[in-house]
Copies of this chain bind each other. A is one copy, B any other.
Amino acid sequence: MALIVQKYGGTSVGSIERIKNVARRIIATKHQGNQVIAVLSAMAGETDRLLKLAEQLEFDPEKINEREMDVLVSTGEQVSIALMSMAIETVGEKACSFLGHQIQILTDDEYTQARIERIDPERIHKALYDGYIVVIAGFQGIDKEGNITTLGRGGSDTSAVAIATTMKADLCEIYTDVDGIYTTDPNICHQARKLAKISYDEMLELASQGAKVLQIRSVEFAKKYGIPLHVRSSFSADEGTIVCQEDKSMEKAVVSGVAANKNEAKITIHGIPDRPGIAATIFSSIADRGIVVDMIIQNISEEGLTDLTFTVPKDNYQYSLSIINDICRQIGGKNVLGDEKIAKVSIVGIGMRTHANVASRMFSALARENINIMMISTSEIKVSCVIAEKYTELAVRVLHDEFQLDKDPDYKE
C-alpha cells in the first residue's frame, strides 16, 4: 500500500463538475490500494473575487493589513476542501478535511509570503488509519500564535510537497491544467515536447526563468527531501513529467528547456566614479525598498568611470528609476537610462556541465537572426540573454531548434 499525495490546482477544482471529476480520480487512486491525501487550491477565480472585495475598500496599498488579507483569501481553499470532502462522500468513500490550524501547518509570521516550518502528522495518520481520504487546504498555515498565514501565489504546490515530506509519502502528484513540463511554452513554439523527466535543478532554473507550472519553493522543498514530483493534468489519464534527482538518462540532453521572461526591465547608470562601496550603495538602496534585482553587469572601467546595468521587475521599474536617479546625483554619476522593452531568454540543462560550447551555440543562433544581445548571465546549468522584447518568440523558436529540443535525446545521433 503506497501513500500518495495529490495536489489539485484552481482550474482542476474550478467548478462543481470538476470537483466531482477530481473526487472520482481520488477515489480511483484509493481503490487501487493506496492511501490518499488530496491538497487543494481555491476554486479558479475565487481568490480574485476575494481580492476584488478587498480592493473596493480603497485602502492605501502601502498600508495594507496583510494579516487580515490572509484571513480573507484563505477562505478560498476552505471552501474547496469542504466541497471536495462532500463530493467524495457522495460517491461513497469516507473523507475528512483539515485546515492549517487543525494539523498545525506551522509557518513563520511573514503574512502573504510565509514559509512552512513544520506540520503535525498525527491527526493525518489517524484519519488515514481510520480509512479516510484526507483533504487538506493548500496555500495556508498558522504562525505560532495561531494567526492564519498564506504561502504566496502557487503556495499549494509547496503545501503538497511539505505534507508529502512530513508523511513520508511515496509520491507527490501535482495536478494542473497542463499535462506536464515542456521543453518550452507550446503557445510560442509548436515543436515544444513534453519531458518525461527533469531534474530538480533544471526545474528550478526553468521556474525562476519564467516557466510557471510549479512554485519555485515547492521544487526546492522537494529537492531538499528527495520527494519525486509527478506534474500532470487532471483532465486526462496521460503520464506527465517526473521532477526528480538527476539520473543518467537526463544527461544525454545538452539543453532540456528554453524559457522566456518579459517581466523585467533594465536600468543603466553611466559614468559612475569607479571606487569601492559604490555598488553597495546603489544595490542596498534598492534592496531596502524590497525590490529584487536579478541580473547585474558592470562594464570595464575607463578613465576611472564605469557603467552599471541591472534588471528589476517591471512592476518596480518606475519606482526603481526614481531611486536610481537620486543616487546617481548623490554619487556624481553621469546619467541614468532605462528600458522596459526587454525580455530574457534562457536555456537550461544539466548537460551543459560537460559540453563546453553551449553558450557560444546560443549566441551564434541568435546572431544568425540578427537578434542583439544586451546582457548575458550564466550559471552552471543555465545561460540567459537579455534581448529586445519584440524578438522573444523568435528567439525561443530559434533556440528550441538549435538544440533540437523537439527530438527525444535518447534517439539523438
Which A residues form the contact surface with B (CB < 8 A)? Answer: 16, 19-20, 50, 53-54, 56-60, 63-65, 67-69, 71-72, 74-75, 78-79, 81-83, 85-87, 89-90, 95-97, 99, 101-102, 146-148
Given A101-B101, A146-B102: A57 and B71 within 8 A (CB)? Answer: no
Question: How far is A197 from B53 in the complex, measured between Cα atoms in Å?
Answer: 38
Whether B57 lies near A85 (C-beta < 8 A) is: no
Whether A71 lies near B97 (C-beta < 8 A) is: yes
How many Å from the CB of A395 to the closest CB on chain B?
A: 43
Given A79-B72, A81-B71: A57 and B90 within 8 A (CB)? Answer: yes
Cross-interface CB contact of A86 among B57, B82, B102, cutoff 8 Å: B57
Cross-interface CB contact of A65 among B58, B89, B147, cutoff 8 Å: B89
Considering residues A79, A86, A95, which has the most beta carbons from chain B within 10 angstroms of its beta carbon? A86
Whether A102 lies near B69 (C-beta < 8 A) is: no
Whether A90 lies near B53 (C-beta < 8 A) is: no
Whether B65 lies near A72 (C-beta < 8 A) is: no
Whether B71 lies near A101 (C-beta < 8 A) is: no
Question: How far is A56 from B20 in the complex, measured between Cα atoms in Å?
Answer: 10
Q: Give A72's nearest chain B residue, CB to CB.
A: B82
Whether B65 lies near A85 (C-beta < 8 A) is: yes
Whether A87 lies near B57 (C-beta < 8 A) is: yes
Question: How far is A101 from B140 in the complex, measured between Cα atoms in Å?
Answer: 15
Whether A68 lies near B90 (C-beta < 8 A) is: no
Question: How far is A69 from B81 in the complex, measured between Cα atoms in Å?
Answer: 10
10 more A-B residue pairs beyond the given contacts A72-B79, A78-B78, A102-B146, with a C-beta to C-beta distance below 8 A: A16-B57, A53-B79, A54-B83, A57-B86, A68-B82, A68-B83, A71-B85, A71-B99, A75-B78, A102-B147
Instruction: Return the 8 tightest CB-CB contacts between A and B, nearest first.
Output: A72-B82, A75-B75, A71-B82, A16-B56, A59-B90, A68-B85, A68-B82, A75-B78
Q: Give A81's nearest chain B residue, CB to CB.
A: B71
Whether B65 lies near A86 (C-beta < 8 A) is: yes
Considering residues A63, A68, A87, which has the most beta carbons from chain B within 10 angstroms of its beta carbon? A68
Q: Give A43's nearest chain B residue, CB to CB.
A: B53
Contacts of A147 in B (CB 8 A): 102
Whether B83 lies near A72 (C-beta < 8 A) is: yes
Question: How far is A210 from B16 in the complex, measured between Cα atoms in Å?
Answer: 36
Contacts of A59 in B (CB 8 A): 86, 89-90
Whether A78 lies near B89 (C-beta < 8 A) is: no
Question: How far is A82 from B53 in the complex, measured between Cα atoms in Å?
Answer: 11
Q: Give A103's nearest chain B residue, CB to CB.
A: B146
Whether B97 lies near A57 (C-beta < 8 A) is: no
Whether B54 lies near A69 (C-beta < 8 A) is: no
How many Å from the CB of A232 to the closest CB on chain B?
A: 25
Contacts of A53 in B (CB 8 A): 16, 79, 83
Whether A78 lies near B71 (C-beta < 8 A) is: yes
How many Å from the CB of A326 to the closest CB on chain B?
A: 30
Given A58-B90, A90-B59: A146 and B101 within 8 A (CB)? Answer: yes
Whether B101 lies near A86 (C-beta < 8 A) is: no
Contacts of A75 in B (CB 8 A): 75, 78-79
Given A71-B78, A81-B71: A54 and B101 within 8 A (CB)? Answer: no
How many Å from the CB of A329 to the closest CB on chain B?
A: 35
Considering residues A19, A58, A71, which has the most beta carbons from chain B within 10 angstroms of its beta carbon? A71
Question: How far is A90 from B69 in the complex, measured between Cα atoms in Å?
Answer: 13
How many Å from the CB of A127 to the closest CB on chain B?
A: 11
Question: How far is A60 from B86 in the complex, measured between Cα atoms in Å?
Answer: 11
Question: How far is A200 from B63 in the complex, measured between Cα atoms in Å?
Answer: 45
Question: How far is A65 from B87 in the complex, measured between Cα atoms in Å?
Answer: 10
Contacts of A64 in B (CB 8 A): 86
Contacts of A16 in B (CB 8 A): 53, 56-57
Question: How far is A72 from B59 in the complex, measured between Cα atoms in Å?
Answer: 28
